[in-house]
Chain A
Amino acid sequence: MDIDKKRCVGCGNCVPWCTMGVISIGPDHKAEVNTEECVECNNCYRCLPSEGRNPTLVRVIRRILRIFRLSYDAPLDVCPTGALSPPDLKWPRFVRRAFSDPEAPRTSAQFDSDPGAPFAAFGGRGTGEIKGNDVTGRLKLGEVGIVIELGRPGLGARLREFEKVTRALAPLGVFFEPQNPLTVLIKGLNTGEMDPLIVDEKVLSAIIEIRVKEIQVKEVLNALRRVQGDLATVMSIGIAARCKSDSSVEYPAPAIEAGFTLSLNGKCNVGLGRPLYEERKI
């Protein structure tokens, strides 16, 4: 995010909206962004529309009010002078926005600076996962999907943290979901090595999405437990499977054996999509 110091009046409104907590009021009494830690989510820009005030006028009025020990606080969700603006990002920094901003474009338009950038065709942090599984049949009986979202909740993560996890998982023979935008950044699917050009980029969160056989669940979850001590951030883990005819799934037992507790809440595809994958195959 760019903050125009000529326009900023130092009201501090943008500070709490920053998802990474990297906007602060500097010694010059104006807002500044730690660009090294900014994930380009555009949250501040989106949530604080400009009031369109003249910066000089605002500063003069504030000084006058201060003489009388008065102050005027603008509403919490505006930028009085429109000092915020999203920068035009080039590869590889655009990776930050692609994973962190839910409104980021999902086409290659932003990648014109480098048409060879590997995930030009992708956007977002993951895939539809189980949402359309009744139609797509991506997760079949006997398979288990595991989603590992690094940086969530609220801490963010460098892509080198993802590499620690992919390197731990790759030797186990897991299947990295090819439609997942992070998978495209993995240079060696057998080793888990990521594109070195992007490992220092930081994102709000992104998802490693894998498919394994039921028999592998415990081994994979144990690997995640082992690698967690090497991480500088957090990871939220999810597990999914196609239900059997009695609506049950097989993964609770190995997950519990690996020391995990299943949440009481979760996501359920209720099978209303048509044509059902199984019917389509017939």
Chain B
Amino acid sequence: MTNTLHRRGTPEELEHDYVVKCFPAGKQEGLPEKIAIFRRIASSHQPVNARLPNGTVREVNEFVFDNPQAVKSVLSELKAADLGISIVVSGLIERVRTCCRDVGLPFHTVEHSLGVLGRTENLPSTGIVEIASLCGHGMVSFNLIEKMVYQVKLGRLTPRQASIYLAKPCTCGSFNPARAEAILERLRARS
């Protein structure tokens, strides 16, 4: 799943958007305990959203952070814990590279987005697509985002309240409500 690969925004906005996920690949002894340790470490650094599946332990657990310092701290503690579970970080690649370098982790595999081709003229405005890109499965509809922008402009909802509605369809937990709130503020100011 390309999930968190195509998140959009300016470098300044992406500075506040990181996802750390664990992916249990291969055979793992004591996986439930390892997942519990991952969750404890990640949740102790003020994530802005999380996915903590209740089903099989082989599902992806993920946490969203709004600053690279938290990512660096999480990586440092995960390295010390040596859980043996694959860890993937989504975010500004150079920022993540710096975090990894500081805690002594090399990149193993890296993935970039090359953008969107095809009928791009059918897409809505940039801000709407930016918010939609925050959900890994694209479950936040353009119409819902436009409705929320409208509600915010009318003063019926605050950007924070609207961002909570927008996070609701995202079952993978990768939606960043803090970034959505900032984008909604920007779109409100533009009216």
Residue ranges of A at the interface with B (Cβ–Cβ < 8 Å)? 15-21, 41, 43, 46-47, 76-77, 102-103, 124-136, 139, 145, 147, 149-155, 204-205, 207, 221, 224-225, 228, 231-243, 245, 247, 249, 251-252, 255, 260-275
- Number of chain B residues whose Cβ lies closer than 8 Å to a Cβ of chain A: 70
Q: Is the CB of A155 within 8 A of B105?
A: no
Summarize A's interface: helix, strand, loop or mixed.
Answer: loop
Summarize B's interface: helix, strand, loop or mixed.
Answer: mixed
Which residues of chain B are near A272, meaning CB under 8 Å? 78-79, 82-87, 105
Which residues of chain B are near A265, meaning CB under 8 Å? 7, 14, 17, 90-93, 113
Which residues of chain A are near B57, meaning CB under 8 Å? none
Which residues of chain B are near A76, meaning CB under 8 Å? 147, 165
Task: Select which of A18, A155, A247, A261 is within 8 A of B119 by beta carbon.
Answer: A155
Q: Is the CB of B116 within 8 A of A225?
A: no
Q: Is the CB of B116 within 8 A of A234?
A: yes
Which residues of chain A are near B154, meaning CB under 8 Å? none
Task: Select which of A225, A255, A266 is within 8 A of B93 by beta carbon.
Answer: A266
Q: Is the CB of A273 within 8 A of B87?
A: yes
Residue ranges of B at the interface with A (Cβ–Cβ < 8 Å)? 1-2, 4-7, 11, 14, 17, 21, 23-26, 60, 75, 78-79, 82-94, 96-97, 100, 105-120, 122-124, 129, 132-133, 137-139, 141-144, 146-147, 165, 168-169, 171-172
**Cα distance, A43 to B117, chains bound together (Å):** 26
- Give min CB distance, A163 to chain B, whole Å: 14
Residue of A nearest to B75 (CB): A270
Q: Is the CB of B108 within 8 A of A234?
A: no
